[in-house]
């Protein structure tokens, strides 16, 4: 079963819910796509991931959100959309038999950034989240905005980080996951060593800092994987993702 469901009024405020063929309540995976928060990239990038996990017995909620170039997109609107999309599951849980006590968030690239930001909300006394998160899997995630910005500067290219933050560049510390550690949730960082889009150094540095602060986080580096292999169910990197998911659930 696959159904498109709106969680807001903007055309980009929707998700695609897939549910396995079972009459039992099932665990949930929230999928957040990447693309450096830009509107030219959409949730179809995570379609294969979502379909594969649904076949494995997970309900998947593959979400879209307002991005750079769309009204209300970029910071903080993009993150507000992700929060709203996740909270919307509370309204869907009974109709679709979703076990939200077994919910994991998976984010790829910029989606990994947004997934880790969700984890930071669990430390807040008055969190905007109305649902719980059992674990977060960051796939080649942009876990350090400052380092990503520096890398783009060294490459002499315009950084999407600048476009994402816009006039709120001074808010980088509250928009960058590494600055918000420790988090009150289990995290798994999976990153290919051949990644040229988001260097593995971001996950290595994030992991080091998280461990120093006593966080529950595991780092899986894949020597032969590049940026997109971690969201490709047909790749050799995919087993690391499914094994990590099973471990969290």
- Looking at the DSSP bridge assignments, the partners of residue 188 are 137, 218
Classify residue 40 as exposed, middle or buried by CB count within 10 Å of its CB (0-12, 13-18, 19+).
Answer: exposed
The dihedral sign for the CA sequence 128, 44, 150, 186: positive
Residue 160 Cα distances to 39, 75, 177, 201, angstroms: 11, 12, 16, 18
The runs of H, that is alpha helices, within 66-144 are 77-87, 89-92, 110-121
Instruction: Identify the CATH number of the domain defined by range 2-248.
Output: 3.40.50.1820
Per-residue pLDDT of the chain (249 residues), as tens digits, is 899 999 999 999 999 999 998 778 999 999 999 999 999 999 999 999 999 999 999 999 999 999 999 999 999 999 999 999 999 999 999 999 999 999 999 999 999 999 999 999 987 888 999 999 999 999 999 999 999 998 888 887 888 999 999 877 788 888 999 999 999 899 999 999 999 999 999 999 999 999 999 999 999 999 999 999 999 999 999 999 999 999 998
**Per-domain residue ranges of the chain:** 2-248
Residues 163/167/171/174 CA torsion (nearest 10 deg): -50
Read off the pTM: 0.96
């Amino acid at each position: 079963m696959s159904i498109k469901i709106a969680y807001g009024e903007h055309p980009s405020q929707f998700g695609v819910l897939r549910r396995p063929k079972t009459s039992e309540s099932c665990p949930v995976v929230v999928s957040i796509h990447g693309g450096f928060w830009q509107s030219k990239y959409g949730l179809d990038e995570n379609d294969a991931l979502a379909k594969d996990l649904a076949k494995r017995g997970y309900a998947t909620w593959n979400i879209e959100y307002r991005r750079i170039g769309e009204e209300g997109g970029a910071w903080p609107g993009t993150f507000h959309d992700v929060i709203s999309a996740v909270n919307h599951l509370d309204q869907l849980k009974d109709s679709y038999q979703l076990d939200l006590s077994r919910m994991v968030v998976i984010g790829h690239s910029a989606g990994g950034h947004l997934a880790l930001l969700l984890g930071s909300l669990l430390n807040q006394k008055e969190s905007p989240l109305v649902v719980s998160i059992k674990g977060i899997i960051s796939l080649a995630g942009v876990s350090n905005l400052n380092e990503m910005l520096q890398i783009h500067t060294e490459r002499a290219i315009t950084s999407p980080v600048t476009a994402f933050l816009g006039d709120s560049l001074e808010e980088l510390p509250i928009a960058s996951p590494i600055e918000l550690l420790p988090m009150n949730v289990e995290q798994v960082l999976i990153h290919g060593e051949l990644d040229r889009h988001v260097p593995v150094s971001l996950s290595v540095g994030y992991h080091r800092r998280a461990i120093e602060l006593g966080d529950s986080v595991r780092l899986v580096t894949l020597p032969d994987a590049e940026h997109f292999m971690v969201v490709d169910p047909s790749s050799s990197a995919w087993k690391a993702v499914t094994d990590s998911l099973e471990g969290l659930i």
